[in-house]
C-alpha cells in the first residue's frame, strides 16, 4: 500500500492547517475543501478517459493551497502559474501542458490564454466524504515551469516520491514537526513557497501562516502570535538586517523563533552577521532547485556555518566534477567543480522535452549547472551558476559569490552583483555592479578592499554603479539583464 502524501487529511487533527491573513482553515476544513476539488477533478478524468493536467492560478491565497492540495489528493498533476507572468509566457505554458481545467480564486481576472481553458472557481468549503485512494509514489504531482532564462520555460515533472522524500528529509534535518507554525510570504508558483512552505506543513501535520505580502510589521505580528519558523529569501533577510538594529520588536520576534531558513539564492555573510548580532539566532541555508527539490542543508543541531549550504539530505547524494566530468575529491574549500545530484528527490522529466531530459543527466547524476566547493568538514559552498557566476580570469577559476561577499563588507556598498566580461589579456575580467550606500566608493578603493580580503587576482577590474539590481519574483539577481 502506498504511503499517503498527506496523512493528516485522513485523520484530521484539531488544529489550524493554513492561514492567509484573516482566512484560516483547520485540518477538517482543508480536508473537506480539498476533497471537493479532488472529486471534481476525478470526474473530469473519468469523463475524458485519460490522464489530465490542471493549471492553478497561483495567487498567494488559501484558494491556491486548497487547489494544489486537492489536485494532489486526486492524483491529478497541477501546473502552478505565476500570476505576474506575461501573456506570451502564459500562452507557452498553456500550449505546452494542455491543462484540462484552470483552478482559480473566485473573481480574479485570468489572462487571455487561460480564458480558453474551462475554469473552476475554488471554494474554501466542502461537504466531506472519503478522499480518493492514494496514487503510486512515482505518479506526477506537479509540473513546475522553469524561469526560461536560456529559452522557453520547461515543465519540470515532479513525482509524489520527490515531494515526500524532500519534506521528510527536511523534517529530520530541521527537527520540523506537527508542533511547528511556519511563517512565510513566498510566492506559490515556485517550489520554495509551495512545496516547502505549504505542502511541507500539511504533510507534517503542522501549520503555515502566509503573510500574503512580505513586511516586517506583519512578520513581527505572526511570529509573536506563536510562529516557530520562518522561510524567506535573501531580499527579505536583507530588509530585516537593514532594520533590525533599530527595531527591538523585530529582534525580539525573530529571537523567539525556533528556526530561520533562507533559500533560493545565497544569503550574504554580512546579513548573517547583522541578524545574528541582534537576535542571537542564526539563519540556516539550504540548497535546492526546481528539478531536484532540496539537496543539502545546514542542520538545526549542527554548527553555524554562514556561507555554506550544509550536507546532503537523507536519500540524496552529491558530487563535484571537473570540466571533463571526472569526480573531484578535494575538500580544500578552493577547488571548484560542477555540482551533480542523484537521489529520491529528483524530477522524472521535462514535459514534452526528451532531448532536454537526456542532456540534463550524466548517467544517474543530474547536472545542476551550479558550481561549488567542498569545505574540510564536508559541507558544500555554492559559488554560483556555471553560465553567469564562474569567471575564468588569468588562468584562475573565480566564483562570483566570494567576491560579492567581500564587497558587501565595504561600508560604501549596499548591494552588489559580480559578473565576468571578455578581456583580451585575461580571458575574462571581473566586473562589479554596485548599488552604493550613502557615499559612493571609488573603483580603486573597492579593488583594494577585495585584494586585501581575498587574492589579488579576484579584485574587480571594472566597477559599474547602479540605482538597483534587476531581480525576479524570488529576489534573485538577473545577471543576464546586466549589460557587460
Exposure of 370 by Cβ count < 10 A (0-12 exposed, 13-18 middle, 19+ buried)? buried
pLDDT value for 149: 54
DSSP one-letter string for 157-220 = EEEHHHHHHHHHHHHHHHT--TT-EEEE---TTSHIIIIIIIIHHHHHT-EEEE-SS--HHHHH
What pLDDT sits at residue 397? 74
CA–CA separation, 308 vs 269, rounded Å? 10
From CA 25, how far away is CA 33, in angstroms rounded?
Answer: 9
Block mean pLDDT (10 aa), the chain, length 484: 89 96 96 94 70 92 98 96 88 94 95 93 88 91 81 90 98 97 95 97 98 95 96 92 94 96 86 93 94 95 85 96 92 91 97 95 94 92 78 75 85 88 80 89 91 84 90 77 69
Assign residue 429 a region (left: φ > 0; alpha: ψ between -120 and 50; beta: otherwise): beta
pLDDT value, residue 148: 57
395 — alpha (psi -120 to 50), left (phi > 0) or beta? left
pLDDT of residue 45: 64
Q: What is the pLDDT of residue 475?
A: 72
Q: Which H, E and C letters describe 240-271, residue by residue?
A: HHHHHHHCHHHHHHHHHCCEEEECCCCCCHHH
Q: What is the model's pLDDT at position 183?
A: 98
List Cβ neighbours of 72 (8 Å cut-off, separation of 6 or more). 5, 6, 78, 141, 142, 160, 199
Give 344's DSSP letter. Answer: T
Q: Show the domains of the chain with their CATH numbers.
A: 7-182 (3.40.50.12780), 394-481 (3.30.300.30)
387 is written with which cell numbers?
553560465
Q: Output the pTM of the full model.
A: 0.86
Task: Provide CB contacts within 8 A for 262, sequence distance 6+.
Answer: 232, 233, 234, 237, 283, 284, 285
Contact (CB, 8 A) for 78 and 37: no
- What DSSP designation does 302 have? S
Cα–Cα distance for residue pair 90/468, rounded to 1 Å: 27
Q: What are the C-alpha distances in Å from 140 to residues 18, 55, 74, 156, 346?
A: 24, 14, 11, 10, 12
The residue assigned the cell 480536508 is 31
Number of Cβ atoms within 10 Å of the Cβ of 484: 14
Grid cell listed for 82: 505565476
Q: Indicate the SS3 state at residue 44.
A: helix
Residue 218's CB is within 10 A of a number of other CB atoms, namely 16
| Strand, coil or helix: 476 | coil
CA distances in angstroms from 104 to 109, 207, 388, listed in the order given: 9, 22, 36
pLDDT of residue 49: 56
Amino acid at each position: 500500500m502506498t504511503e499517503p502524501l498527506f496523512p493528516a487529511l485522513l485523520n484530521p487533527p484539531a488544529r489550524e492547517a493554513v492561514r492567509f491573513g484573516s482566512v484560516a482553515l483547520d485540518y477538517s476544513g482543508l480536508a473537506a475543501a480539498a476533497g471537493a476539488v479532488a472529486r471534481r477533478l476525478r470526474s473530469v478524468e473519468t469523463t475524458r478517459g485519460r490522464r489530465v493536467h490542471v493549471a492553478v492560478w497561483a495567487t498567494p491565497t488559501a484558494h491556491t493551497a486548497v487547489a494544489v492540495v486537492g489536485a494532489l489528493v486526486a492524483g491529478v498533476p497541477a501546473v502552478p502559474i505565476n500570476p505576474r507572468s506575461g501573456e506570451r509566457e502564459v500562452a507557452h505554458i498553456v500550449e505546452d501542458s494542455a491543462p484540462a481545467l484552470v483552478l482559480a480564486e473566485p473573481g480574479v481576472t485570468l489572462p487571455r490564454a487561460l480564458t480558453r481553458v474551462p475554469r473552476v472557481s475554488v471554494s474554501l468549503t466542502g461537504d466531506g466524504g472519503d478522499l480518493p485512494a492514494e496514487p503510486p509514489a512515482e505518479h506526477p504531482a506537479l509540473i513546475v515551469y522553469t524561469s526560461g532564462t536560456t529559452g522557453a520555460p520547461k515543465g519540470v515533472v515532479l513525482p509524489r516520491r520527490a515531494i515526500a522524500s524532500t519534506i521528510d528529509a527536511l523534517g529530520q534535518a530541521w527537527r520540523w514537526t506537527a508542533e511547528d507554525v511556519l511563517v512565510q510570504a513566498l510566492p506559490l508558483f515556485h517550489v520554495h513557497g509551495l512545496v516547502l512552505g505549504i505542502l511541507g506543513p500539511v504533510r507534517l501535520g503542522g501549520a503555515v501562516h502566509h503573510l500574503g505580502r512580505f513586511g516586517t510589521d506583519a512578520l513581527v505580528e505572526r511570529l509573536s502570535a506563536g510562529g516557530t519558523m520562518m522561510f524567506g529569501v535573501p531580499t527579505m533577510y536583507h530588509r530585516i538586517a537593514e532594520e533590525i538594529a533599530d527595531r527591538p520588536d523585530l529582534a525580539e520576534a525573530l529571537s523567539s523563533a525556533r528556526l530561520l531558513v533562507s533559500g533560493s539564492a545565497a544569503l550574504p555573510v554580512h546579513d548573517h552577521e547583522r541578524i545574528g548580532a541582534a537576535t542571537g539566532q542564526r539563519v540556516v541555508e539550504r540548497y535546492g532547485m526546481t528539478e531536484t527539490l532540496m539537496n543539502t542543508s545546514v542542520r538545526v543541531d549542527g554548527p553555524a556555518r554562514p556561507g555554506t549550504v550544509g550536507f546532503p539530505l537523507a536519500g540524496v547524494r552529491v558530487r563535484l566534477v571537473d570540466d571533463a566530468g571526472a569526480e573531484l575529491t578535494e575538500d580544500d574549500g578552493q577547488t571548484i567543480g560542477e555540482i551533480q545530484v542523484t537521489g529520491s528527490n529528483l524530477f522524472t522529466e521535462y514535459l514534452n522535452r526528451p532531448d532536454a531530459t537526456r542532456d540534463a543527466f550524466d548517467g544517474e547524476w543530474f547536472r545542476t549547472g551550479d558550481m561549488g566547493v567542498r569545505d574540510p568538514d564536508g559541507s558544500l559552498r555554492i559559488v554560483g551558476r556555471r553560465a553567469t557566476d564562474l569567471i575564468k580570469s588569468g588562468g584562475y577559476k573565480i566564483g562570483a559569490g566570494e567576491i560579492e561577499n567581500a564587497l558587501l563588507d565595504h561600508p560604501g556598498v549596499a548591494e552588489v552583483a559580480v559578473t565576468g566580461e571578455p578581456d583580451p589579456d585575461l580571458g575574462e575580467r571581473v566586473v562589479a555592479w554596485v548599488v552604493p550606500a550613502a557615499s559612493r566608493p571609488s573603483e580603486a578603493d573597492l579593488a583594494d578592499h577585495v585584494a586585501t580580503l581575498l587574492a589579488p587576482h579576484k579584485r574587480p577590474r571594472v566597477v559599474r554603479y547602479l540605482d538597483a539590481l534587476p531581480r525576479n519574483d524570488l529576489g534573485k539577481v538577473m545577471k543576464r539583464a546586466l549589460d557587460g
